[in-house]
Amino acid sequence: MKAYMFGVDVGGTTVKLGLFRTTGELEDKWEIPTNTENGGARILPDIAGAIRDKLKEKDIAPQDVEGVGIGVPGAVLDSGVVNRCVNLGWGVTDVKQLLSGYLDGMRVEVGNDANVAALGEMWNGGGKGYQNIVMVTLGTGVGGGVILNGRILSGSTGAAGELGHFKVNAEETETCGCGKKGCLEQYASANGIARMAAKRLAAEPETETVLRKLPKPTSKDIFDAAKQGDAFAASLVEQVGELLGKACAYVSCTVNPEAFVIGGGVSKAGPIVTDTIERYHRKMAFHACENTRFELAVLGNDAGIYGAARMLL
Amino acid sequence: MKAYMFGVDVGGTTVKLGLFRTTGELEDKWEIPTNTENGGARILPDIAGAIRDKLKEKDIAPQDVEGVGIGVPGAVLDSGVVNRCVNLGWGVTDVKQLLSGYLDGMRVEVGNDANVAALGEMWNGGGKGYQNIVMVTLGTGVGGGVILNGRILSGSTGAAGELGHFKVNAEETETCGCGKKGCLEQYASANGIARMAAKRLAAEPETETVLRKLPKPTSKDIFDAAKQGDAFAASLVEQVGELLGKACAYVSCTVNPEAFVIGGGVSKAGPIVTDTIERYHRKMAFHACENTRFELAVLGNDAGIYGAARMLL
């Protein structure tokens, strides 16, 4: 194993990069803009350029670099080919071969961004010490990543860990981003929680709650109010916890991980999130997986670069 | 790889044994009774005796045997230790070490019976040609097995693939064998389907159906009637298909297999079973896994011995 490695997390607006020692220490991290013009043709050359510049700056020889791990927002096949990344403008793109070519044959490993973040949390975050975790990311949507025996499970079409698209409500009339209706992320993402709150506030005009004082209560407002004892906000938190606890119970009966790691913006509300989900999970899981642990993610936006680098180990 | 291997499937009443060539051919199969007296203390010695007798009968030297694979009805840890088998009378039992000891150090691999059957179907049955399948067994209960990259996924406490205990009905008043309420197997096992039919027949006294002529319609009666155009029976089949299709959609969003293999007594009704489940799965699965295949199991009671032997390869 060589001394250094890079972890790269490609987002729709910025690319995050990290220079790591292969022993695990993050030596440096920085960002470059994501250039999505011309079908994202500049993205990989820009990343290669940023890596070359960093090597020069730090006086590191390319032969001391183990490789580059890269997480991208799309389905990734085991070959390192990305099926399509709408946010980047990419069609089918052989990221592994192309980026390696731009870096004179340097080793490249590619993963889906949500899966890569899960691997990062397992390596150096909320899932440290476990080898089998499922990460659930409660952000704009609900994402997920399945790590088994320390490795990402991609699935046969790159769709493993898409927990946000569990159908949980047959009565839903609004359409999810995926094109179907009643997906978990329509209720348990930051947007979904705010949407549920707005609907219930309108449907229950008699209920008193501090949330009425806010023009558009966010997921953060709801968790804050629940922590301060607002009964309506607390009942929303229970609803979200029940949906997620049930979904996690399904996941437990399928892959039976050691722990769930809960991340994303919503998880910043802290233990109230994991405690509520865990309580419902325990109630609904098969007895042999009742005691699965629930941990908070800790790496935040750095999970991607950690996990990307970890793919090389 | 040596020339021969044994696959053993331990049930509560009989132990099935198979002598295989390591190239995959089943040379011979037979059964012995399961002696559950004295906490099942005779079961492993009896199996060792049956294997020795077969080697003598076939004039095969022990050094030409790759090993013995064995499936047991209980949770199996990766170490080959069985956590408990209620049906056999076993407490925590180191099956791998004990059986190997009775066979002069022969290699032994141990798996849970449902997982082992899934591996058998992948190797030589309905899942042939795939490396990533989930088997759903619709028998007395609803069992399951997850095979990823050609290997059994046991899970951190041996509970991977326990799809029968997905909670699908929060209103259920009867208790499942697992101790909780509203489990998939209370509706989609052979017993569960018959139970649902009896409830609906009582609740809908005006509905005409050929099932009323039977004292206690079984799952087979219901599928037979549906195939002959009985509308009530067909609506029961739809209910079961919807529950299973939805459960499989959750599994798809978690591990994203290439195919589901549907087995167990209920699956003997044929393509009506897989077609109905597949239709609902397609409707409810995330778009990237909509086209997951549905296959019928073909090995029947032999799946266990096939899969047990396959663990050695």
Express each pLDDT in B256-303 by its tens digit.
999 999 999 999 999 999 999 999 999 999 999 999 999 999 999 999
Chain A residue at shortest CA distance from B287: A178
Tens of pLDDT, residue by residue over A117-145, are 999 999 999 999 999 999 999 998 999 99
Contacts of B158 in chain A (CB under 8 A): 256, 288
Collect all residues of chain B within an 8 Å Cβ-Cβ radius of residue A162. Answer: 253, 256, 286, 288-289
A30, β-bridge pairs? A17
Q: State the CB neighbour count (10 A cutoff) for residue A39.
A: 12
Question: Which is more confident, B305 or B178?
Answer: B305
- For B31, phi then psi, to 5°, come to -130, 155
Mutate to test the interface with A, among B254, B284, B291 (most CBs of A within 10 A): B254
**H helices present in B68-189, as ranges:** 95-102, 113-124, 185-188
pLDDT of the residue at A79:
85
Chain mean pLDDT for chain B: 96
Q: Which pair of structure tokens corresponds to residue B125?
A: 């049955």
pTM for this predicted structure = 0.93
- Coil, strand or helix at A190: helix
- List all residues 6 or more positions away from B167 whose beta carbon is below 8 Å from its beta carbon: A246, A249, A284, B180, B181, B182, B183, B184
Gap from A210 CA to chain B (nearest CA, Å): 31
Contact A155 B75 (CB under 8 A): no
CB pairs under 8 A between A and B: 125
Query: How many other CB atoms sit within 10 Å of the CB of residue B4?
Result: 20
DSSP A139-184: SSSEEEEEEETTEE---TTS-TT-GGG-B--TT--SBPTTSSBSBT
Among B122, B156, B244, B248, most A C-beta atoms within 10 A, so best to mutate, is B156
For testing contact with chain B, the best of A142, A256, A280 (most B CBs within 10 A): A256
Task: List phi, psi (to 5°) of A210.
Answer: -60, -20
Q: Contact at 8 Å (CB) between B111 and B71? A: yes
On the CB side of A185, CA atoms within 13 Å amount to: 23
A74 → chain B, closest CA residue: B288
Q: Kindly give the interhelix angle for A271-284 and A231-255, rounded to the nearest 10 degrees.
A: 60
- Residues of A with a Cβ under 8 Å from any B Cβ are 75, 132, 146, 148, 153-163, 165-167, 178-180, 246-247, 249-258, 284-289, 292
What is the pLDDT confidence band of residue A75, given thresholds at 50, 70 and 90?
A: confident
Give the residue from chain B lying closest to A166, CA to CA: B250
For chain B, give the percent of residues with pLDDT over 90: 93
All residues of chain B having their beta carbon less than 8 Å from the beta carbon of residue A254 are 146, 160-161, 163, 250-251, 254-255
Token duo for residue B138: 């619709």
Estimate to the nearest angstrom the gap between the alpha carbon of B44 and the chain centroid: 22
Sequence-ordered strand ranges (E) for chain A: 4-10, 14-21, 26-33, 65-72, 81-82, 93-94, 108-112, 133-138, 142-148, 151-152, 259-263, 293-296
pLDDT computed for residue A24 by the predictor: 93
How many angstroms separate the CA atoms of A227 and A237, rounded? 10
Q: Within 13 Å of residue B87, how many CA atoms lie on the same side as its CB?
A: 12
* Chain B residue closest in CA terms to A249: B166
Q: How many residues does chain A have?
A: 313
Q: Nearest C-alpha of chain B: how many angstroms from A302?
A: 24
